[in-house]
Structure 1
Amino acid sequence: MGFAIVFSGQGMQHAAMLPWLAEDELVERMRAQLGIADWRECLQDAAWASRNANAQVLLTGLNLGAWAQLSPSLPAPAALAGYSVGELASFATAGVFDADTALTLAGTRARAMDRCAEKVPGGLLAVSGLPRAHVGHLCEQTRLAVAIENGPQAFVLGGALAGLDEAEQMARAAGGHVTRLKVDVASHTPSMDEAAEEFAQALSALPLRSPRVPLFSSAADRLTNASQAARALARQISTTVQWSACMDQIRARQVGCVLEIGPGAALSRLWNERFPDVPARSADEFRSASAIVDWVSRQAERGV
C-alpha cells in the first residue's frame, strides 16, 4: 500500500511547469538565492534555463516547494528517489538534511560541476530505440560515456560537445530517437570526478541524518544511514545513474502509484512503460494541488 515519489532532474524545465505551484516561503528562498524576481520569466530565456548554476538551484527549490504544498494532505510516501539533481529533493524529503541545506547544496554541486565543465565544455544527449551494445559502440566512437540507463533501449549519453554532435547524427542514422537536453555539463560521467570529490568534502562537514522513510539512490541501493547517503549523493555526480534498477527497487515496495514531481513527465513515461500495472503521473500534468492529492489518494489504496 502507499505511493512513491520520484523527483525530476534538470533538462525538461519550462516556464509553464507546475502551474498550480504557489509562491510560498520556500520558493521565495530559492528566488533569493538565485537573485531573481520571477522564475517563470527567467525560464523563458533558454540560455538562462540551461545554465547549470541556475537549473540545479531552481529545480531543487521548486521540487521541495511542490512537495511542501502537497504533503499536508498526504501521508508519508512508501518510497522516495530522485533523478540526478532530483536526489537533493528526495534526500531532504527523507530527512537526511533540511530544505535550506538542500538549496545550499544545489549551489555547491552546480559550482563544482561548472568548474569541471570549464575545462571541457559538454552536455547530455538522450538516445532511445537502440540496443545497449549499439550505444556502447557509439560511445567508443565518439568518446562519450553512458550517463544514465533508463531502460534496455533508453540511455542518456554525456561528454564533450563535439562528441554529442557526432553521436546525435550517428544515432539518427541508425534509427534511434535523440534529444539534446537543456544541460550544459556532462553529468554522471568521469569528467565530473573532481566535482564528485569536492561535493563529498562539502557533505562531510554537514550533520546528516538517517532517512526517515525508504530512500533509494540511483548510484546505490536503499539507503539506511547518513554515511551511505553521503557516499551515494556524491558518487552519482560522476558515475552512471542506474535509473532502471532504481525503478525496480521502488516496484518491490508494492506501491499503488508513483507521483513524479518536477518538470515534464519523462520519469512517469518510463515507469508506465516498465510497470503498466502501477500507474504513474507527473505533478506537472495537473492544474491544481487538490487534483494531485485526490489522484494519489485513490491510487495508493489499490496496492499491488
Structure 2
Amino acid sequence: MSFALIFSGQGNQHPAMLPWLADDGRVQQMRTRLGVDDWRAALADPDWAANNAHAQTLLTALALAAWGQLAPHVSSPSVVAGYSVGELAAFSAAGVIDSEVAASLAPLRAAAMDESAARHPGGLLAVTGLAEPALVQLRAVTGLALAIRNGIESVVLGGPGAALEQAQHIATGQGAQCTRLRVNVASHTPWMQEAAERFSQVLADVPFRSPRIVLASNAADRILDAGAARTALAAQIARTVRWDECMQNIAERQVRCVLEVGPGQALTRMWNQRYPDIPARACDDFRSAAAIAAWLQAHED
C-alpha cells in the first residue's frame, strides 16, 4: 500500500468530528489537560472551540489518538505532512518526536502564539479567486502578509484586524471570495516572530530524531534530519505555510491515495481538485477505523 498521511489544521473543529474515535488514554489525557469531561459538548460552544489554546491542544491530541488507533490496521504511509498545527501530529507520525511529547507541545505552542498576539492582535482572511497580480497589489495596499498558500488563487492573508477588513472589502469588490477564519492570531506571519523564537527555545530541550518516513514541511520542503525538524517546527509559526508545495511533494512520491486525519474535509477537497487522479478521503467521512483501513487497502499496489 502506498498512501500519504496528512493532518488537518485548526478552524474546522466540530462536535461530530472523528465519530469512530475511541476514548483512549490520549483522549483522556487531553480532557484532563483541557479540564473538560466531554470534549464534544465543549466544541458545541463556538467561543470555546475557537480559543487558540483549546483548539491546538484538542486537535493535536485527537489527531495523535486517531492515528494511534488506525495505525495497527494499516501499513506505514509513504509520506507524511501536516497543515499548520497539524505538523505536531505529522512529525510524531514520521517518528521525529514521541506522541506524548507532541501532545504536550501543543498548549506550549498556543501559549507562545497567544502571548505574541496579545502584543500584536490580528487574524486570518482566506481569499479565493484573486489573480496573483491583484493579490500582490492587495498586500501592498493593506500591508498584510501571505500566511498560507494553497494555490495560485487560493491563499490566506494575515495581519491586524483593520487591515483584514480593508482587504476583504477590496477583494470582494474585485470578485474574490473572502472568509474570516475563526482564529484570533495572525499565524504564519512576521507578527508571530516572537512566538516562533519562544517555541524554538522550548524545542531546544526536546529530543528529536530523523524521520523514519518522508516528511514534507510547511517551512522547509522535505525534512531530512533531527536538526532540520527542530528548526522547521518552530519557524513555521512565523513563516508562510506553503501547502501547495507540500501537495506537490506528496504527489511526486507517486502515492496511490491520500488520507486526511482531523476535522472536516478541507485538505481532502483541495487535494482532489488539484490531483483528481489520486483519490483522497478524510477520516471524518467514515464511521469506523475498520472502514478507513478497508478503503486504504482497496488502493494497495
* TM-score of the superposed pair, with normalisation by structure 2: 0.98
- Partner SS for 1:278: coil
Q: After TM superposition, where is structure 1 displaced by more than 4 Å over at least 4 residues in a row? A: none
Matched to 1:26, the amino acid is R
* Post-superposition CA distance 1:244-278 (Å, at most 9, x none): 01111111111000000111111111111111110
The Cα offsets for residues 103-122 of structure 1, whole Å up to 9 and x where unpaired, read as 11111110000011001221
Q: Which residue of 2 aligns with 1:102?
A: 102
Pair 1:67 & 2:52 matched:
no
- Superposed, 1:1-304 pairs within 5 Å as 2-299=2-299, 301-302=300-301
Number of residue pairs aligned between Structure 1 and Structure 2: 301
Give the 3-state SS of the residue equivalent to 1:127 in structure 2: strand
CA separation in 1, counterparts of 2:39 and 2:141? 39
Pairwise CA distance, 1:35: 1.2
Structure 2 Cα separation of the partners of residues 149 and 93 of structure 1: 24
Does the 8 Å contact 1:124/1:186 carry over to 2? yes
Query: What is the alpha-carbon distance in structure 2 between the residues aligned to residue 126 and residue 144 of structure 1?
Result: 12
Q: Indicate the SS of the match to 1:15.
A: coil
**8 Å Cα contact 1:12-1:181 kept in structure 2:** no
CA–CA distance in structure 1, aligned partners of residues 288 and 133 of structure 2: 43
Counterpart of 1:264 in 2: which secondary structure? coil
Query: Does the CA-based 8 Å contact 1:147-1:239 persist in structure 2?
Result: yes
Contact kept? 1:9, 1:85, Cα under 8 Å = yes
AA aligned to 1:96 is: V
Secondary structure of the corresponding residue to residue 138 of structure 1: helix
Tell whether the 8 Å contact from 1:60 to 1:102 is kept in structure 2 after alignment: yes
Q: Give the gaps of 5 or more residues in structure 1.
A: none
Could you tell me whether the CA contact under 8 Å between 1:94 and 1:211 is conserved in 2? Answer: yes
Q: What is the alpha-carbon distance in structure 2 between the residues aligned to residue 81 and residue 74 of structure 1?
A: 18
Q: Secondary structure at the match of 2:106?
A: helix
SS in 2 for 1:75: coil
Between the aligned partners of 1:21 and 1:171, the Cα distance in structure 2 is 40
How far off its partner does 1:90 sit?
0.3
User: Which SS does the other structure have where 2:56 is aligned?
Assistant: helix
Q: Secondary structure at the match of 2:298?
A: helix
Whole-angstrom distance in 2 between the partners of 1:144 and 1:234: 21
Counterpart residue type for residue 55 of structure 1? A
Contact 1:192/1:237 (<8 A) preserved? yes
Distance 1:285 1:180 in 2: 25
Deviation sequence 1:18-71 (CA, Å, 0-9, x none): 111111111111111111111111111111111111100100001111111111
Check conservation: 1:15, 1:43, Cα contact below 8 A. yes
In 2, the alpha carbon distance for the partners of 1:175 and 1:274 equals: 22
Q: Secondary structure at the match of 1:259?
A: strand
**Which amino acid letter does the alignment assign opposite residue 190 of structure 2?**
P
Amino acid aligned to 1:258:
V
Verify the 8 A CA contact 1:168 1:178 in the aligned structure 2. yes
1:147-184 CA distances to partner (integer Å, 9 max, x unpaired)? 00001110011111111122222221111112221211
- Unaligned 5+ runs, structure 2: none
- Does structure 2 retain, via aligned residues, the 8 Å contact 1:219–1:241? yes
Quote the Cα distance in structure 2 between the aligned partners of 1:23 and 1:140: 48
RMSD: 1.0
Larger displacement relative to structure 2 (12-21 or 163-172): 163-172
